[in-house]
Structure 1
Amino acid sequence: MAHYYPPWGFFFKVSFNDISLDTNDARFQSVSGLSVEYEYENVKEGGENRFEHKLPVRTRYADLVLKRGMLSNSTVIAWFLDAFNNRVFSPANLTVTLMNEKSEPLRTWNVVHAIPKKWQVSDFNAAENGIVIETMELTYRYFLIQ
């Protein structure tokens, strides 16, 4: 009998499908924001005062947040800076894949039409011996799960 175990969340990969990357450019420390929810509209029915109908209106997707140690030469950061410095927004499709211990995909999120929203570098502090972390926040239209 096969046993079910929830997957570990530390073995994953991120691919920018529309941006050519080297192998280091696709390594991330964390991914967050793979979230979707419905917005609802409340409708009151005439003569019925006990409740309101809640009707789904549209879906809302959270921003995707990627974190990693800062790289001095990065195609992804060049894409970000092109948006921030030159206001050139080139949408990209991303794939986030959660993998098992055999490097086989367990679940894949295909993120559609992502564009840069925020880029942040961690604080510099002479009293600490830590790696500089860059945080990249993207907004996107939707994702599909495989």
Structure 2
Amino acid sequence: MSGQTIDYYPPLGFYYQVNFNGVSKDKNDLRFQTVSGLSVEYEYESFKEGGENRFEHKLPVRTKYADMVLKRGMLTNLKDKTIIKWFLDAFQDRIFLPADISVILMNEKGQPLRTWNVVNAIPKKWSVSDLNANESAIVIETLELAYRYFSVKEGA
């Protein structure tokens, strides 16, 4: 059946993996419930031209990347806490070791569809969800990172 087009279906956002290159390779340490902050925008500078009152010129100045936010159920086993140790090194000892992070969106067969390569990420914030005796909720830890930029490529 040549010439027949295949219907396009957008990928589902629940099948992905996160890799902290050079920090941790332990699969338990790299499982996250949510990943957010993969966004970029331009900051603009307005320029008013003398005698022109209908509009302002808007010129792109620089790109601005949002902070990356990762959430997961809190790990309690000490041997699975390499990422948290990396965070605590920054917060307790002021040792900031930038890491490159790959976020890979996969298809239903486990093949990479798109990869976001986050460059020079450093810890910005670490928080743990509220502890509440009236609820039986999983304790969630949130890891927030600042980074320089990301690049996007198809596949791995």
* TM tier, smaller: over 0.9
CA deviations over 1:74-107 (Å, ceiling 9, x no partner):
1000000000000100000000011110111111
- Of 48-57 and 111-120, more deviation after overlay is shown by 48-57
| 1:67–1:134 CA contact under 8 A, matched in 2 | yes
**Separation (CA, whole Å) in 2 of partners of 1:60 and 1:119:** 22
Unaligned ranges ≥5, structure 2: none
Distance between the aligned counterparts of 2:137 and 2:45, measured in 1? Answer: 47
Q: Percent of counterpart pairs with the same letter?
A: 70
The whole-number CA distance in structure 2 between the counterparts of 1:18 and 1:143 is 17
8 Å Cα contact 1:21-1:76 kept in structure 2: no
Q: Determine whether 1:80 maps to 2:71.
A: no
SS in 2 for 1:19: coil
- What TM-score, normalized by structure 2, do the two folds share? 0.91
1:143 lines up with 2:150 in the alignment? yes
Q: Which of 48, 54, 65 in structure 1 is aligned with 2:52?
A: 48
1:1-146 mapped onto 2 (5 Å cutoff)? 1-72=5-76, 73=78, 74-146=81-153
Shift of 1:21: 2.6
CA RMSD of aligned residues (A): 0.8
Letter in 2 for 1:52: E
Q: Which 4+ stretches in 1 moved above 6 angstroms?
A: none
1:119 and 1:134 in contact (8 A); partners too = yes
Structure 1 contact 39–58 (Cα < 8 Å) conserved: yes
Please tell me the residue identity of whatever aligns with 1:116. P
Shift of 1:46: 2.0
Tell me the distance in 2 between the aligned counterparts of 1:144 and 1:47. Answer: 41
Distance in 2 (alpha carbons) for counterparts of 1:3 and 1:18: 40
- The number of aligned residues is 146
Gaps of 5+ in 1: none
Counterparts of 1:70 and 1:85, CA distance in 2 = 19
Rounded Cα–Cα distance in structure 2 between residues aligned with 1:52 and 1:124: 51
